[in-house]
Each structure stands twice: as structure tokens, then as C-alpha cells.
Structure 1
Amino acid sequence: MAQEKLLEIKNLKQHFNPGKANMVKAVDGISFDIYKGETLGLVGESGCGKSTTGRTIIRLYDATDGQVLFNGEDVHGKKSRKDLKKFNRKMQMIFQDPYASLNPRMKVADIIAEGIDIHGLAKTKEDRLKRVYDLLETVGLNKEHANRFPHEFSGGQRQRIGIARALAVDPEFIIADEPISALDVSIQAQVVNLMKDLQKEKGLTYLFIAHDLSMVKYISDRIGVMYFGKLVELAPADVLYKNPLHPYTQSLLSAIPLPDPDYERSRRRKTYEPSVHNYGPKDQVEMREIAPGHFIHCSEKEFEQYKAQYNY
């Protein structure tokens, strides 16, 4: 049975200061699909464009070029406030910094209920408060927390409040922009496990943006690797970790430490040098499917080399 596409990204570009000497191609023509009920992990070093990709998908930035199709509808083509409001209810975001993403002057009940109020989801004050209490319980907090301010909570608790806020409007799709990077290691697993449980319970679809490769493997069904605005490899999580093809993916995976002293003493970090590709002006460099569901950004010559090297 074929998976149903929820999101289609087609040649998406996000250029800052276009046409100027200091133009930055933060996202430079990437394409991928996200299927209903799955988690797609997006990884890469700082500055590679992964967070900008998420923010462009949800329309925090207007795309320079390309398409974002959500349930077949062009996100960046929506103009009316009614259309945008409907779209914003279906797609929500969990932000990286649990300290900066919550208004310090608002009580937790009002932070969580903001989306409920905007979309008119509660008929009465009692209904509104019940929804807030239920959401707090869903993310592992209790109703006594509703009357507190954000500064009274730990980082992990604040991120749970952020998740509750995202869930308040019953979205189909959530973009999680490095949701655990600002948290202690002991809390990261709790937040990720909460997200996995919520996904099963509510049938959510995630774009999980991160730089922690071990955690991305744990939560993701498929993983995309970004480098300087380009998507260089996309594959099922297990396949990517067992058989990384692109030299940049190999360099990222070689940097993952393991709790094994013998392995760590002998581990050799691979360094990625873009010059290894040696592309000429006539080389057509694009994403090519080397095996079912496994795509790599390469030239035709490199594609044949990869197939010979890995017996594809």
C-alpha cells in the first residue's frame, strides 16, 4: 500500500538579500516529501539551512522560489486571511529555545490557550480551561501549573508547555526545530519519548530538525542530510546509518561518539572536502535514487561510481 503524501517540497529556495553582493543562499533548491504519520529527520551542521527550511515551510519566511504543497495545496500561494488561518491550525511549530519562545508576561494557561482563542475552539471559559488542563496532563504536567509564569519552570517543563501550545489546535503536522538542543541530556530523552507517544496517540506527522545524529536516528523514520543549503542525501534511518553514501554524511556519522573506550581509541574522524567532487561546468548535479527510497546528490559519473562501489 502506497504511503499518502502530506507535504511536498519542490525546488524550495530561500535566499536572503537576493541580487546583492552579500546574498546568502540559505536553502538552495531542495525537494522532498513527508508522508502522513512519519517522522522525517533533517540534520546538518549549524548554518546549513535546516532551520530556515522549517521556517520557510510554515511561512515564517516567504519562499524565494519553489513550492510547498500541504495536502496538495500551495502553502505560499495562500493569500486570504481565512486560508492562512485554516493552514496555521493544521501546521504548528515547536521552537528551539524553550526560554525565549514563551511570553514571560503571560501565564501558562493563556500561553497554551492562545491558539484556542484565535481559532474559536472553546465555546465557554470553562471549556477553554478544561482544554488547557487536558493539554497540561497530556504533556506530563498538572493543572496547578496553569496559573504560573514561564520563569517558574525548568527548561524541560517549558518545552513541554511549548508542545502543549502546539497541540492546542489539533494540528496534523508539527515542525520541531531542534526541540531538545537547549535541554540537559537527562531531559532530552523524556521530551523525545513524549513526542513519540503523542505521535502514536494523535497520528501526528513530524519534521524533526536537529544536529544530534544519535537522537535523530532514534525518532526518525527517514533522514535527510543538508549541507550549505543543499539536500545531499535522503534515506530510511537504518539505511543511512548502515550505508551512508555521500562523503559529507560519512563525515557526520564518523563524529558520533560511542560509550566504548576501545572503539573511541581507534575511531578515525572523516573530514569532508567539497573539492573531492571536482564537478565540471557540464556536470548535471542533482538528487538521484540509487536504491528504493535512497537518494544522493551527485553527478551522473558519481552515480555510476556509487552503484559500482556498493553493488547497487
Structure 2
Amino acid sequence: MAEKLLEIKNLKQHFNVGRPNEVKAVDGLTFDIYKGETLGLVGESGCGKSTTGRTIIRLYDATDGEVLFDGENVHGKKSRAELKKFNRKMQMIFQDPYASLNPRMKVADIIAEGIDIHGLAKSKEERMKIVYDLLETVGLNKEHANRYPHEFSGGQRQRIGIARALAVDPEFIIADEPISALDVSIQAQVVNLLKKLQKEKGLTYLFIAHDLSMVKYISDRIGVMYFGKLVELTTSEKLYKNPLHPYTQSLLSAIPLPDPEYERSRKRKTYDPNVHDYKDGEDVQMREVAPGHFVLCSEKEFVQYQAQYKHD
């Protein structure tokens, strides 16, 4: 049995709490992430994926719930030293490689920021050696260290962002839509780099994206989000072969295939949230329909999903 690295328990992130315009961006998420795996988190824009990642890493303070990293509560009261230690273990790769790098800093200083904060280099020479090694690791070269971000392409900037995340030797990386701002031809290169780094360094990823085909390629398990809630969670293979929740089915039906004949004839499924028609007080929760396959449903739907589950 794989060891749990991260436990998310009833996590909530609400904005404008108590006001008429309160937004429940993340509304009661519960899931685990195991050491060495990639958990993909998918859903349409505005469903709360990025907010989930930012709350896990404590860029936002959680409204409610727990985030346990190696058994320790991330959102508990912490001293500066404890926060510093936590920040070294968990890093983030941001969506926009243009906005996430300081345009006034040279690449060497951008990458070495974490090294400086955590005192990981004993001398300037050691600091530069670490930077050069990191540049090489992400497919760049040491001549790039003295340049500024505007001198690089989008794919190269994202590689710099990855090098910066790796600089403190983290255990866990949240990749927040790391390929959505890149050309399609570059996306596969960045995803392959992430897979390679995971294998070499034993990293664990939360990979947030809305491109389902890319998420399937990189993820061991996939969680599907809709309006702040997790509606389905299982292995990537099971999710694609046997989607149970109507929202998951609608997402998968929207993936285009390079087959004009198929595209002309296929029917896309649209998701109607009213199809569930839950009664007040009805017990709606994540239930395990089959081993490792969880779906948000009522007791009545649970029986229906079990009946329609296709066993391999």
C-alpha cells in the first residue's frame, strides 16, 4: 500500500464570507495524494481547481477543513521557522510563465531565490554550480543564467519556473495549469520533462489542468471538480473507460479526436445539474462505487452506479 503524503479533509475556501456575494470556490474537498504519484485535477474554468492548489500550499488561508502534509497540519498556527521548513518541502509551478518571473531579475537570481532564503549554498561558487546544474536538468544551458526573462520563449520560461521550484529539493509540487499558456508543440515537451523529473527525483505532483487528454497522459489518478466540489475520483484508466458521473461523461465527450468521420457523427453530452434533483437533507457524499472509484452521489444514485459499473 502506497504511503500517504497529503491528506485533504473537508477543505473549504470561501470568499466574502457572510456577505450576499459569498463565493464557495472550494466547498468540502476530501482526498489523499500518495508518495510518488501524480494526481490530476480537472474541470472547467472557475470550478475551483487553482484555488484548491493555492489553498493546499497556503497561499490562501483555508476557511475550514484540514490539509495534512506528512501528518502535519499545514494550516495550523506556525512559527516562521516552521513555515520556512514547510515551504521547502512543497513548491508550485505557476500557470503563466510570463507573469511568474520577475522581469528585473536575471535567471540565475530567480532560480537561486529559494537557495538564498534557505541557505543551501555555502559560497557564491556553490550557488552558481547549483543554478547551472538546475538549468541543465530542465534542458537549458549555463549561458542562460545571465539573461533576463524577456529574452526567452514561453516554453523556456516555464522551464525556468520548474528549475526555480526544484532549487530547494521539494517532495511535492503543485503544477497549476503549467502548459495552458504554451503552444501545443511545446506542451508535450514540458509534460515529458515533468515525468522525467518525477522518475529521477521521486517527486509527487498535483497536476491541475483542463486539457483532459494531457491529464490522462501524466496522471496516475484523476479527480474531476465541478463548482467547488469533487464529483469523481479514480485511476486515469478507469475514468476514461468507465466514467460514471454525468458531468465527467460530458467532459470526456467534448474531447476532440483526429478523425473527421467520427467527429461528424458523434454526439456530445451536455451536463444538466438538475438531473440529480436532490431532496433537502438528502445524504450526498463521495461514495466508493467500486474499489478505488469514488463518485459524489446520493444513496439511491449509489445503487444505480453500482448496477451500471462495467467490471473489467
Q: What TM-score does the superposition give when structure 2 sets the normalisation length?
A: 0.99
Match of 1:43 in 2: 42
Amino acid at match of 1:260: D
Q: Distance in 2 between matches of 1:311 and 1:278?
A: 25
Partner of 1:130: 129
2:266 — aligned with what?
Answer: 267
In 2, are the aligned partners of 1:15 and 1:27 still within 8 Å (CA)?
yes
1:147/1:112 Cα in 2 relative to 1: closer, same or farther (>3 Å)?
A: same
Residue matched to 1:227 = 226
Contact map agreement 2:290 2:306 (CA 8 A) in 1: no
Deviations for 1:75-128, whole angstroms, at most 9, x for unmatched residues? 001410000000000000000000000000000000000000000000000000
> Is the contact between residue 92 and residue 171 of structure 1 (CA under 8 Å) also seen in structure 2?
yes
CA distance in 2, matches of 1:269, 1:141: 42
Counterpart check, 1:195 vs 2:194 = yes
Partner of 1:184: 183
Instruction: Give the 3-state SS of the residue equivalent to 2:187 in structure 1.
Output: helix
* SS of alignment partner, residue 77 of structure 1: coil
Quote the Cα distance in structure 1 between the aligned partners of 2:181 and 2:307.
42
Amino acid at match of 2:173: I
CA contact (8 A) 2:107 2:147 kept: yes
- Residues of 1 paired with 2:204 and 2:123: CA distance? 30
Which whole-Å CA distance do the structure 2 matches of 1:308 and 1:281 have between them?
Answer: 25
Q: CA deviation at 1:240?
A: 0.1
SS in 2 for 1:103: coil
Q: Report the Cα offset of residue 261 of structure 1.
A: 1.2
Counterparts of 1:1-312 in structure 2, within 5 Å, are 2-310=1-309
Matched letter for residue 145 of structure 1: H
| Equivalent AA in structure 2 for residue 11 of structure 1 | N
Secondary structure, in 3 states, of the residue corresponding to 1:211?
Answer: coil
CA distances 1:187-234 after superposition (whole Å, capped 9, x unpaired): 000000000000000000000000000000000000000000000000
Shift of 1:16: 0.2
Deviation (angstroms), 1:149: 0.1
Q: Secondary structure of the residue that 1:198 maps to in structure 2?
A: helix
| Aligned amino acid, residue 257 of structure 1 | P
- Cα distance in 2 between the residues matched to 1:190 and 1:305: 42
Amino acid at match of 2:179: I
8 Å contact 1:173–1:205 — kept in the other structure? yes
Conserved 8 A contact 1:78-1:84: no
| Matches of 1:52 and 1:301, distance apart in 2 | 31
Letter in 2 for 1:304: V
| Contact 1:27 1:229 survives alignment (8 Å) | yes
Decide whether aligned partners of structure 1 residues 311 and 206 sit closer, same or farther in structure 2, where only a CA change above 3 A counts: closer
Instruction: Give me the whole-angstrom Cα distance separating, in 1, the residues matched to 2:190 and 2:77.
Output: 33
CA distance in 2, matches of 1:164, 1:208: 17
Q: Give the secondary-structure state (helix, strand or coil) at the position aligned to 1:76.
A: coil
Note the residue ranges of structure 2 that are not aligned, 5 or more in a row. none
Q: CA RMSD in A?
A: 0.7
Q: 2:8–2:29: 8 Å Cα contact kept in structure 1?
A: yes
Shift of 1:311: 5.7
Q: Whole-Å Cα distance in 2 between the matches of residues 72 and 307 of structure 1?
A: 33
Distance in 1 between residues matched to 2:257 and 2:83, nearest whole Å: 45
